[in-house]
Amino acid sequence: MADPRAPAARRLAVKLGASAVAMFGFGFLLVPIYDAVCRIAGIGGRTSDVAAVAVAGEIDADRTVVVEFVAIRNEQATWEFHPATVSMEVHPGQLYDTTFFARNLTTSRLVGQAIPRVAPGTAAKYFKKTECFCFTPQPFDGGEGRDMGLQFMVDPDLPQHIDRLTLTYTFFQSPAGAS
């Protein structure tokens, strides 16, 4: 004789299996959802991945903001990577140029990609890059080194209580293009 509890046990097994699949799917989608929310809300220190349009506007000559530049690479990284200058005093609304230097320390061709962050995170939307080496992957032949340009401005609408920004680039070896 068949167990009368079998249909209930089967329904429970199906529900538990569906719950496990739903939890896995949610966990898998959590990172892209988080990135999208941070990008839309302008939080987390992420700067835009596209060039800002340089707009002629008011330069706040009465205000200065210190912009610090930090370069990060993995200890095992095969790169030399550092900013040309560690900080600049800038006037909001004015365009500035600086560079970061990178060198491939191997004899093989490598491709690097820089990921920017701005601290404090709430100020990221006020840091505008018009040109940046971070917009595209950077190919390097073995032993090649070069200065990579950055043109930026701090938006005059930056809240008055923020007088210091830190722009950090993390330079990764990109798996695409490496030989």
Sheet with 87-90, strands from edge to edge, namely 87-90, 65-72, 164-173, 110-119, 138-140
104 shares its domain with 24:
no
Identify whether the C-beta of residue 58 lies closer than 8 Å to the C-beta of residue 93: yes
Dist. CA 116–CA 169, nearest whole Å: 5
Dist. CA 79–CA 102, nearest whole Å: 7
Q: Tell me the two tokens of residue 16.
A: 């538990």
pLDDT of residue 12: 86
Residue 76: inside a domain:
yes
pLDDT of residue 64: 96
pLDDT, tens only, 64-86: 999 999 999 877 788 999 999 99
In terms of residue numbers, what domain contains 88?
65-173
- Tell me: pLDDT of 27 over 90: no
Residue 9: inside a domain:
yes
pLDDT of residue 58: 85
Per-residue pLDDT averaged across 54-65, rounded?
80
Q: How confident is the model at residue 3 (pLDDT cuts 50, 70, 90)?
A: confident
Q: Tell me the two tokens of residue 142.
A: 């073995």
Residue 1: inside a domain:
yes
Q: Tell me the two tokens of residue 6.
A: 């079998």
pLDDT of residue 179: 46
pLDDT of residue 39: 55
Residue 54: inside a domain:
no
69 shares its domain with 3:
no
Candidates 104, 101, 100, 102; CA nearest to 78 is 104
Domain CATH code at residue 156: 2.60.370.10
Q: DSSP for 53-120, please give it.
A: PP------TT--EEEEEEEE--TT-SEEEEES-SEEEE-TT--EEEEEEEEE-SSS-EEEEEEEEEES
Count: domains in the chain = 2
pLDDT, tens only, 126-164: 999 999 999 999 999 999 999 999 999 999 999 999 999
Dist. CA 15–CA 12, nearest whole Å: 5
- Tell me: pLDDT of 116 over 80: yes
Q: How confident is the model at residue 177 (pLDDT cuts 50, 70, 90)?
A: low
- Tell me: pLDDT of 55 over 90: no
pLDDT, tens only, 88-103: 999 999 999 999 999 9
Confirm whether pTM is higher than 0.85: no
Q: How confident is the model at residue 45 (pLDDT cuts 50, 70, 90)?
A: very low
Dihedral class, residue 20 (left if φ above 0, else alpha if ψ from -120 to 50, else beta)? alpha
Residue 134 is which amino acid? Answer: C
Residue 116: inside a domain:
yes
